Amino acid sequence: DAGVTQSPTHLIKTRGQQVTLRCSPKSGHDTVSWYQQALGQGPQFIFQYYEEEERQRGNFPDRFSGHQFPNYSSELNVNALLLGDSALYLCASSFGDGETQYFGPGTRLLVL
Amino acid sequence: GENVEQHPSTLSVQEGDSAVIKCTYSDSASNYFPWYKQELGKRPQLIIDIRSNVGEKKDQRIAVTLNKTAKHFSLHITETQPEDSAVYFCAGNFNKFYFGSGTKLNVKP
């Protein structure tokens, strides 16, 4: 039974560039949430996808966008990267109401 | 947005002692409060959760208590072991998930 997977594991970009991060949910899960975790802080909710639509959104600018595919996998896109976007990006999957969430290993993004 | 405050930020205990981490939240209502353990360089792992229809839940050495009236919930770890050393996060589902800032627990052998 595969757990939540994310790719890539690490990424280095420069300011102004765009990045796409990917997440495959745990088998049987249909909901994907994305979080940003800065060093030494707790995860911050970016948005959640269910049935290929954004169901909830946190306090992140429109530069952060996402997508969910029919197989429930998801992408997080960040445009016009800023130095402050450097963080660990976590995705979490769940079923239905999205409460019991399981995290992937994360993608560590460094913006130079 | 909802604010989840977590204390203490660091906690050092002797192996075998108990550890308690507390979280409070402000105005919004949540019916679900999970706790996650995150070891260095690894993903957060769900260790226990509680729903608002119960006041306490226990799983071996770990327990969580919830006081909805006072808007606080706590994680209790008994008989701590060195492998319990990690950062612990509380969270609540206030229509969106909000996490505390974390508690770094160090269990000294």
Eight-state DSSP code of residue A97: T
CB A54 within 8 A of CB A64: no
List residues bridging with B6 in a β-sheet. Answer: B23
**How far B51 CA lies from chain A's nearest CA (Å)?**
10
**If you average pLDDT over residues B53-77, what whole number do you get?**
93
pLDDT at B29 over 80: no
Instruction: Tell if the CB–CB gap between B1 and A106 is shorter than 8 Å.
Output: no
**If you average pLDDT over residues B7-25, what whole number do you get?**
97
Query: What phi and psi, each to the nearest 5 degrees, are found at residue A89?
Result: -105, 120
CB A110 within 8 A of CB A14: no
**Which pair of tokens denotes residue B9?**
């930020």
Quickly state the pLDDT bin for B109 (edges 50, 70, 90).
very high
pLDDT at A7 over 80: yes
Rounded Cα–Cα distance for residues B103 and A40 (Å): 10
**How far B46 CA lies from chain A's nearest CA (Å)?**
7
Percent of chain B with pLDDT over 70: 96
Per-residue pLDDT, A1: 56
**Which pair of tokens denotes residue A39?**
């060093």
**If you average pLDDT over residues A11-40, what whole number do you get?**
96
Q: Which residues contact B69 (CB under 8 A, 6 or more apart)?
A: none
Pick the more confident residue, A47 or B96. Answer: A47
B103-108 and B10-14 strand pairing:
parallel
Chain A residues whose C-beta is within 8 A of a chain B C-beta are 4, 33, 35, 40-45, 48, 56-59, 90, 99-106
**If you average pLDDT over residues A54-66, what whole number do you get?**
95
Instruction: Tell if the CB–CB gap between A45 and B96 is shorter than 8 Å.
Output: yes
Instruction: Tell if the CB–CB gap between B46 and A106 is shorter than 8 Å.
Output: no
Quickly state the pLDDT bin for B3 (edges 50, 70, 90).
confident
Element (H, E) at B104: strand B103-108
pLDDT at A84 over 70: yes
Q: Which residues 23-52 in chain B show a CB within 8 A of chain A?
A: 32, 34, 36, 42-46, 49
Rounded Cα–Cα distance for residues A70 and B81 (Å): 44
Q: Could you give the count of Cα atoms lying within 13 Å of B87 in the half-sphere of its Cβ?
A: 19
Rounded Cα–Cα distance for residues A68 and A82 (Å): 24
**How far A15 CA lies from chain B's nearest CA (Å)?**
25
Q: Point out the residue among B43, B46, B89 whose CB comes nearest to the CB of A104.
A: B43
Quickly state the pLDDT bin for B94 (edges 50, 70, 90).
confident
**If you average pLDDT over residues B18-38, what whole number do you get?**
91
pLDDT at B69 over 60: yes
